[in-house]
A and B are shown apart, each in its own frame.
Chain A
């Protein structure tokens, strides 16, 4: 019996690993997700008080340190807003001058979804949400919440979908640093946000040149791209996180920049899927 079960597990593992995303076992999984989604949704609602109680304890423990940190952040941001107001006016004038059309998030139609499931292991940072293809959700669409980028859709069934978080080891997001130092303004500071497995509060901005000057507190947003050949999955300007540390490795041509994500990915109850671009914006984007 044991040998049979081990052989069955290994066969499943080999077959699943070798087949493409549209294969039979993947389709079977989507079918299971479809069947389980309403049950998970019901269980999620019924068990919400338990989750809230546990969350309340955690929130209380963290509230004090979080308040101090937020006060410091508020003071810094107040200073920044003043200088940004004039920069924003300049920016709009220059955009009009260059006829740049970057509609950003407003070009997408957000669909709000409730989180109904979550992977228990650190190796898979995935969520299950209660919206699926019937709501316009498709694979590769970006997922955000009020704080910033959460992840992207990686599997969809009729009434549910799987979200792979930015903290998953398979995730990679092109990103740029907001308001870089004077020396970097001409080219901007760009990189790819990846994760360090085992530490979901620490994302890494990789492939940042050692010549770029970054410091703690710099904010990182999605870079986006309107290239016809390689269009980014994520619209430009979605907040990702704030720089917490920069490791300057002497033997590498890149710096390793550590980022704390804005979105609290440990406690997500609701998220928004940015579904197909609104008709007007899509037409604008396609026009030459």
Chain B
């Protein structure tokens, strides 16, 4: 999928809005002791809708924004989220999944990759404090919360990017069904 300047502009605005929403609102809302993390969901949605290059670009940008805005170690979130975006994009390019529940599965995988990847990077950089086993519970709870949010986030991202999505699998299949001879009406 080619990345037009208009699409790039819209992706930049989307990433900025998602980053701000995460930092200013979502991170401050605790649901049963855990917080949702919209960033892997947004990156996953862009990857699924626009492909690997767009997914990687948005992942890198959103990660950089998060690290810069929260004064975290620069580069960690970028590296992890670009992996999530690229992987979601490759899934679309290789498998072209059209099932309605695909965003949930990919959202769970993306969140798990982000959480485990972040922990792994922190261990590589050195941790001074003991690590509680409850970290695993925290990661699992975040994954569950993100799984619930995956579909609405995907739908919202899809709506924002819709004018630039000629290759959206669901629309493409619908078009093929109606105009490509698959419809019983056209056969008649």
Residues of A within 8 A of B (CB): 1-2, 5-6, 8-17, 25, 28-30, 32-33, 36, 39-40, 43-44, 47, 50-51, 54-55, 57-58, 61, 115-124, 126, 128, 154-155, 162, 169-170, 194-199, 201-202, 204, 266-267
Q: Is the beta-carbon distance between B21 and A43 smaller than 8 angstroms?
A: yes
Q: Write the chain B residue with the least CB distance to A40.
A: B24
What would be 19 A-B contacts, judged by CB atoms less than 8 Å apart? A5-B60, A9-B63, A12-B78, A16-B75, A40-B20, A51-B25, A51-B28, A54-B29, A58-B30, A117-B23, A117-B24, A117-B28, A118-B28, A119-B70, A120-B39, A197-B135, A199-B132, A199-B135, A204-B130
Q: A120 near B26 (CB under 8 angstroms)? A: yes
Chain A residues near B139: list those with CB within 8 A.
122
- Complex CA gap A40/B86 in Å reads 29
Residue of A nearest to B25 (CB): A47
Give the nearest-CB partner of B115 in chain A: A121
B133 within 8 Å of A (CB atoms)? yes
B residues 70-120 in Cβ contact with A at 8 Å: 70-76, 78-79, 82, 86, 115, 118-119
Looking at the assembled complex, report how far the CB atom of A106 sits from the nearest CB atom of chain B, in whole angstroms: 31
A residues near B188, Cβ cutoff 8 Å: none
The listed residue (B33, B53, B82) touching A266 by CB distance below 8 A is B33
Q: Which 10 A-B pairs have the closest CB atoms?
A: A198-B135, A13-B75, A12-B75, A47-B25, A43-B24, A169-B129, A9-B79, A196-B132, A118-B27, A198-B132
Classify the secondary structure of B's interface with A.
helix
* Contact assessment for B56 and A267 in the assembled complex, using a CB-CB cutoff below 8 Å: no
A204 and B22 CA atoms in complex are apart in Å by 30
**Proximity bits, B1-42, A CB within 8 Å = 1, else 0:** 000000000000000000011111111111111011101000
Complex CA distance for A154 and B72, rounded to whole angstroms: 11
Q: A2-B52, A115-B28, A267-B30 are in contact. Are A124 and B74 (CB under 8 A)?
A: no
Q: How far is the CA of A50 from the CA of B118 in the complex (A)?
A: 28
**CB neighbours of B132 from chain A (8 A):** 196-199, 202
- Tell me whether B129 and A29 are in contact (CB under 8 A): no
**A122/B135 in contact, CB under 8 A:** yes
Q: Are B57 and A5 in contact (CB under 8 A)?
A: yes
B contact residues, total (Cβ < 8 Å): 58
Partner of B75, one of A10, A194, A267: A10
> Given A29-B68, A32-B69, A126-B70, are A9 and B75 neighbors across the interface (CB < 8 Å)?
yes
The residues in B between 132 and 146 inclusive whose CB is less than 8 angstroms from any CB of A are 132-139
Q: Which residues of B contact A120 (CB under 8 A)?
A: 22-23, 26-27, 35-37, 39, 66
State whether A198 touches B28 (Cβ < 8 A): no
CB distance from A55 to the nearest CB of B (A): 7
Expressed in whole angstroms, the Cα–Cα distance for A185 and B116 within the complex equals 46
A168 to chain B, nearest CB (A): 8
Please state if A5 and B82 are interface contacts (CB–CB under 8 Å): yes
Question: What residues on A are CB-neighbors of B185 within 8 Å?
Answer: none
Complex interface: chain B residues within 8 A of A169 (CB): 127-129
CB closest chain-B residue, reference A206: B130
A243 to chain B, nearest CB (A): 17
A residues near B129, Cβ cutoff 8 Å: 169-170, 194-197
**B114: nearest chain-A partner, CB-CB:** A121
Contact B60 A170 (CB under 8 A): no
Chain A residues positioned under 8 Å from B125 (CB to CB): 17
Among residues of B, the one whose C-beta sits closest to the C-beta of A164 is: B71
